[in-house]
């Protein structure tokens, strides 16, 4: 087989500062420790390890793959074998590439491929559940004609309608008492996000969901003791939730291509996050951690298994696995605790001096997000709050400028708050 028939695979990701994730698996009924490397395309075993286990492993077959390390070095394998791998209650037949030397045995992306349905390209659909939209008992249907769409956006709107139909998110209807006009939103990549203008139809008569939203502090407390993290991104999270049949009429949109009803959930007023020990779920992000490598991997497998059984899918390109820190809800989270996001710290420190009340409120809102990192911040900001009082004329004096500059200097990306741990005594 010529060079053009060889396949090139990445072997390692960039090494992290933390310890490697080591898992105990059974390979052909022999216990073996393997390093988990989700950046490796294949699972790897050294020739020395193979030789020590050759009596229990099949003969090596020729392999035409070429491995590439993170430094760009090419490695030609000795060959490959197929083995039966068992981890906890899960079993699978996986290929192992045999490489020269005596390096660690790597467990590559096959550990994720065990949950391949979770990473499939199509949109998932939550099983055994439908979302319901509740409206006031005296609500009267409202029907709006389609609004004109700019010629420059018309084809993109048509394409988006066809895409949503293909995904099973919307279906055409011939008649509806309810109908909202559409608002096409141009995204940064030039594509269109199709929105219904429900503020003129169903939103005013919605019965609000009273589910209590957890505070960010409650979510972060669930991460106490975490040393290593995985961040999972649900693909179009709320479009994976099917709508109750009686609720679909409220979602009808009126477009230049006719009337369509949503088959999936889309109203953000019903969103709510959940959390439990070592797993945080907020809107469409899932954060998994563990007290050590094995605990993290067990939690990760449990979450992926739950998602698979529920019929949900993740966007793998936005997921991160086994990393020492992640950005979540505007914070950097690691084993030490919470840190302000460097990007937001930079935005605060480079904020220009406000010239009116609106700009001042914007600055204070950004700063307030990190109030827990700022001791005695209310006292520092009191000259600024004076300008927010009703009937107070705008006058930016030396007192305001001093408070403004001091507030910006108080926040550092190196600031850290440890996770609250209910198992530890309060001091």
For the chain, give every domain's residue range. 22-108, 112-224+233-280+295-313, 339-417
Regions of the chain where pLDDT drops below 70: 1-23, 36-41, 68-73, 88-90, 103-113, 210-216, 267-283, 412-427
Distances (CA, A) of 211 to 207, 208, 270, 274, 283: 12, 9, 8, 11, 14
DSSP secondary structure letters along 78-107: SEEEEEEEEETTEEEEEEEEEESSS---EE
- Write the DSSP symbol of residue 407: H
- CATH 3.40.50.300 describes domain 22-108: no
End-to-end CA distance of the chain: 69
Selection from 252, 271, 249 nearest residue 260 by Cα: 252
**Token pair 């989700």: residue:** 38
Q: Do domains 22-108 and 339-417 have the same CATH topology?
A: no
| Residue 191 Rama label (left phi>0; alpha psi -120 to 50; beta) | beta
Beta-carbon neighbour count of residue 362 at 10 Å?
13
Q: What is the pLDDT at residue 418? A: 47
Distance CA 35, CA 297 (A): 12
Q: What is the pLDDT at residue 212? A: 64
Selection from 252, 258, 256, 266 nearest residue 157 by Cα: 256
Q: Are 131 and 125 in contact (CB under 8 A)?
A: no
Q: Are 253 and 198 in contact (CB under 8 A)?
A: no
Q: What is the pLDDT at residue 294? A: 74
Instruction: Indicate yes or no: pTM above 0.85.
Output: no
> Is 118 exposed, middle or buried (CB count within 10 Å of its CB: 0-12, 13-18, 19+)?
buried
> Is 180 exposed, middle or buried (CB count within 10 Å of its CB: 0-12, 13-18, 19+)?
buried
CA geometry: angle at 347 spanning 342 and 352, to 5°?
A: 155
Distance CA 340, CA 330 (A): 7
pLDDT digits (tens, 9 = 90+) for 27-68: 888 888 777 665 555 788 888 888 888 888 999 988 877 776
Q: What is the pLDDT at residue 275? A: 38
Which residues, including other chains, have CB under 8 Å from residue 184's CB and lie 6 or more apart? 149, 153, 156, 157, 160, 192, 193, 194, 195
Segment (H or E) for 186: strand 180-186
Distance CA 342, CA 173 (A): 48
Distance CA 6, CA 64 (A): 5
Q: Any idea which architecture 112-224+233-280+295-313 has in CATH?
A: Roll (3.10)
Beta-carbon neighbour count of residue 271 at 10 Å?
15
Q: Any idea which architecture 339-417 has in CATH?
A: 2-Layer Sandwich (3.30)
Q: What is the pLDDT at residue 369? A: 79
DSSP secondary structure letters along 357-389: HHHHHHHHHHHHTTGGGSTTHHHHHHHHHHTTS
Which residues, including other chains, have CB under 8 Å from residue 330's CB and lie 6 or more apart? 340, 341, 344, 369
């Amino acid at each position: 087989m010529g060079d053009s028939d060889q396949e090139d695979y990445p072997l390692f990701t960039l090494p992290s500062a933390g310890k490697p994730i080591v898992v105990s698996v059974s390979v052909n009924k022999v216990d073996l420790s393997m390093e988990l490397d989700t950046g490796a395309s294949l699972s790897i075993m050294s020739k020395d390890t193979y030789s020590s286990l050759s009596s229990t492993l099949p003969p090596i077959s020729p392999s035409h793959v070429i491995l590439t390390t993170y430094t760009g070095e090419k490695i030609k394998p000795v060959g490959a074998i197929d083995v039966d791998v068992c981890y906890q209650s899960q079993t699978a037949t996986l290929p192992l590439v045999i490489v020269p030397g005596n390096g660690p045995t790597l467990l590559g992306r096959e550990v994720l491929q065990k949950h391949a349905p979770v990473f499939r390209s199509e949109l998932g659909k939550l099983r055994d559940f439908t979302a319901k939209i509740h409206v006031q008992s005296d609500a009267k249907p409202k029907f709006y004609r389609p609004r004109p769409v700019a010629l420059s956006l018309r084809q993109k709107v048509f394409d988006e309608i066809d895409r949503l139909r293909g995904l099973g998110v919307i279906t055409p209807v011939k008649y509806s008492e309810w109908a909202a006009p559409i608002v096409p939103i141009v995204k940064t990549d030039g594509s269109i996000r199709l929105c219904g203008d429900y503020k003129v139809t169903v939103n005013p008569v919605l019965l609000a969901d009273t589910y209590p939203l957890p505070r960010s502090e409650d979510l972060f407390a669930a991460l106490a003791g975490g040393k290593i993290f995985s961040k999972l991104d649900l693909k179009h999270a709320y479009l994976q939730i099917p709508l109750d049949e009686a609720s679909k009429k409220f979602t009808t949109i009126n477009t230049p291509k006719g009337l369509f009803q949503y088959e999936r959930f889309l109203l953000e007023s019903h969103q709510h996050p959940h959390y439990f020990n070592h797993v945080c779920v907020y809107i469409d992000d899932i954060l998994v951690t563990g007290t050590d490598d094995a605990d993290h991997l067990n939690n990760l497998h449990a979450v992926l298994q739950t998602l698979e059984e529920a019929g949900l899918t993740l966007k793998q390109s936005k997921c991160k696995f086994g990393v020492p820190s992640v950005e979540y809800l505007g914070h950097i989270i690691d084993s030490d605790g919470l840190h302000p996001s460097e990007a937001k710290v930079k935005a605060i420190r480079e904020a220009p001096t406000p010239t009116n009340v609106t700009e001042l409120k914007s600055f204070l809102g950004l700063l307030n997000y990190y109030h827990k990192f700022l001791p005695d911040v209310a006292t520092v900001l009191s000259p600024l709050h004076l300008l927010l009082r009703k009937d107070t004329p705008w006058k930016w004096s030396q007192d305001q400028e001093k408070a403004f500059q001091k507030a910006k200097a108080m926040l550092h990306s190196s600031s850290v708050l440890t996770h609250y741990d209910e198992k530890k005594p309060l001091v």
